[in-house]
Structure 1
Amino acid sequence: MVSNNKRHTMKSIKNKDMIHPSSRKAQQVMRVVLRKDRLDQRQKTRANNSFLKSDRILWFRHAVPEEVKTLTREQHHQLIEEYLSRFNDEYQSLVALHRPGKVRPKAAREDMLTAIMAKERQEYASGFEIPDFSSPKNVQTLREWDGDLNSLNRIKMIKLNDPKHLAKLAGDVAGSAAAGMANSNTTEGSTMQE
Structure 2
Amino acid sequence: MPVTKSLSKLQKNLSKKGKSVAVHPKGRKFERLVRATMREDKIAIKKKLHNDKKIHELTRVKFIQDVVNSNTFKDQPIFDHAHTREFIQSFIERDDVELDELRSKRRSNRPPSTRQVQLQQRREQELKEFRGGFLCPDLSDAKNMEFLRNWNGTFGLLNTLRLIRIDDKGKQVLGGNE
Superposition TM-score, scaled by structure 1 size: 0.72
Deviation at 1:131, TM superposition (A): 0.8
RMSD across aligned positions (CA): 2.3
Identity of aligned residues (%): 23
Question: Alignment partner of 2:14: what SS?
Answer: coil
Q: Residue 21 of structure 1 corresponds to which residue in structure 2?
A: 25
Q: Which amino acid aligns with 2:63?
A: W
Find the partner of 2:89 among 75, 81, 91: 81
Residues in 2 aligned to 1:150 and 1:22: alpha-carbon distance in whole angstroms: 46
1:47-104 Cα offsets, whole Å, 9 max, x none, are: 12111111111001011232221111111111111112212222222223356xx534
Q: Residue 59 of structure 1 corresponds to which residue in structure 2?
A: 63
Q: Residue 9 of structure 1 corresponds to which residue in structure 2?
A: 6
Q: Is 1:68 matched with 2:76? A: yes
Q: Residue 38 of structure 2 corresponds to which residue in structure 1?
A: 34
After TM superposition, the structure 1 = structure 2 runs for residues 126-165 of structure 1, keeping only pairs within 5 Å, are 126-163=132-169
Q: Residue 114 of structure 1 corresponds to which residue in structure 2?
A: 120
- Structure 1: stretches of 5+ with no match in the other structure: 165-194
Deviation at 1:45, TM superposition (A): 1.5
Greater Rg by CA = 1
Q: Residue 173 of structure 2 corresponds to which residue in structure 1?
A: none
Residues in 1 aligned to 2:67 and 2:77: alpha-carbon distance in whole angstroms: 13
Runs ≥4 residues deviating over 6 A: none
- Structure 2: stretches of 5+ with no match in the other structure: 171-178
- In structure 2, relative to structure 1, the CA distance for the partners of 1:7 and 1:138 (3 Å cut) is farther
Residues in 2 aligned to 1:143 and 1:6: alpha-carbon distance in whole angstroms: 50
1:84-134 Cα offsets, whole Å, 9 max, x none, are: 2212222222223356xx534323322222111111111111221011111
Deviation at 1:12, TM superposition (A): 5.5
Q: Residue 94 of structure 1 corresponds to which residue in structure 2?
A: 102
Q: Which amino acid aligns with 1:154?
A: T
Residues in 2 aligned to 1:110 and 1:45: alpha-carbon distance in whole angstroms: 22
Residues in 1 aligned to 2:111 and 2:104: alpha-carbon distance in whole angstroms: 13
Superposition TM-score, scaled by structure 2 size: 0.78
